[in-house]
Amino acid sequence: MLVSAKEMLTKAKEGHYAVGQFNINNLEWAKAILLTAEEMKSPVILGVSEGAGKYMCGYKTIVGMVEGMIEGLGITVPVALHLDHGSYEHAYKCIEAGFSSVMFDGSHYPIDENIAKTKELVAVCNEKGLSLEAEVGSIGGEEDGVIGGGEVADPKECAMIAGLGVTMLAAGIGNIHGKYPENWKGLNFDVLAKISEECGDMPLVLHGGTGIPADMIKKAISLGVSKINVNTECQLSFAAATRGYIEAGKDLQGKGFDPRKLLAPGVEAIKATVREKIELFGSAGKA
């Protein structure tokens, strides 16, 4: 059964560790992440972007697939199925389809509009028992073709949104989606400390987990980050392993072309990446 992310994140905040949100793209991704979380006895959040939702034939297909996998694979750790960077319309679509958690990303609206829409969704999610993530200060980089410069959130605005009763809050602190450029200045810990102070025990979310050095991840967790999103890194490991298999000519040997064989190294590579992140985030054994 899918669960809201509220309990796992409250525990993470109290226990000074973070739960990973790993984005899924297809059956292989979901299976690899669920099996690794189970193996490590870690709670996990499966993230679905609007683009990935469309690719996987709609939110209902995803709910059916993930619920089926939890049963079929005998997954016992808490699993939340979460809309990543949802628009107002898609947040409602996911609530209707049976997601257990949604993100409403109103960071591009003027703060008053972000507040009004977030407030409305807090009420709906509370009534249905879903967790809700809000965002202040857009995260830079490219996601689903949208390229953002990356803002640093205003801690006062963060407190205003946190006060609406959301479950978790994403705030821009110099983090970006995708690979970090050579000249990246790193996370802005001064701002993170201020946001943390303003937002009390609200679990904070760090987007753009790919490529953030381990020491920065640990420092971010010590300053109140309880959820870390990782997407690109699993894609890179999957692609590299698949490239290795094809370049070694293994698809041409015997039945190496069978998709179950062809995709296996990529799946193992996703598992290794997820394992490494769960270790780093400190959520192993916390299920």
Of the two residues 23 and 36, which places its CB atom closer to ligand 13P in the complex? 23
**Active-site residue (options: 84, 112, 144, 251):** 84
Report the nearest approach of ligand 13P to the CB of residue 176 (Å): 7
Q: How far apart are CA 16 and CA 201, in angstroms?
A: 11
Of the two residues 23 and 107, which places its CB atom closer to ligand 13P in the complex? 23
Report the nearest approach of ligand 13P to the CB of residue 151 (Å): 14
Query: Are the C-beta atoms of 28 and 17 separated by less than 8 Å?
Result: no
Of the two residues 184 and 262, which places its CB atom closer to ligand 13P in the complex? 184
Report the nearest approach of ligand 13P to the CB of residue 180 (Å): 8
Report the nearest approach of ligand 13P to the CB of residue 31 (Å): 19
Of the two residues 205 and 245, which places its CB atom closer to ligand 13P in the complex? 205
Of the two residues 25 and 114, which places its CB atom closer to ligand 13P in the complex? 25
Query: Are the C-beta atoms of 138 and 172 separated by less than 8 Å?
Result: yes
Of the two residues 21 and 242, which places its CB atom closer to ligand 13P in the complex? 21
Report the nearest approach of ligand 13P to the CB of residue 232 (Å): 3
Report the nearest approach of ligand 13P to the CB of residue 229 (Å): 3
Catalytic, 201? Answer no
Report the interface residues with ligand 13P, using CB under 6 A: 23, 47, 84-85, 177-178, 207-210, 229-233
Three-state SS sequence of the chain? CECCCHHHHHHHHHHCCCEEEEECCCHHHHHHHHHHHHHCCCCEEEEEEHHHHHHCCCHHHHHHHHHHHHHHCCCCCCEEEEEEEECHHHHHHHHHHCCCEEEECCCCCCHHHHHHHHHHHHHHHHHHCCEEEEEECCCEEEECCEEECCCECCHHHHHHHHCCCCCEEEECECCEECCCCCCCCCCCHHHHHHHHHHHCCCCEEECCCCCCCHHHHHHHHHCCEEEEEECHHHHHHHHHHHHHHHHCCHHHCCCCCCHHHHCHHHHHHHHHHHHHHHHHHCCCCCC
Q: Is the dihedral of CA 82, 130, 54, 74 positive or negative?
A: positive
- The residues carrying an active-site annotation are 84
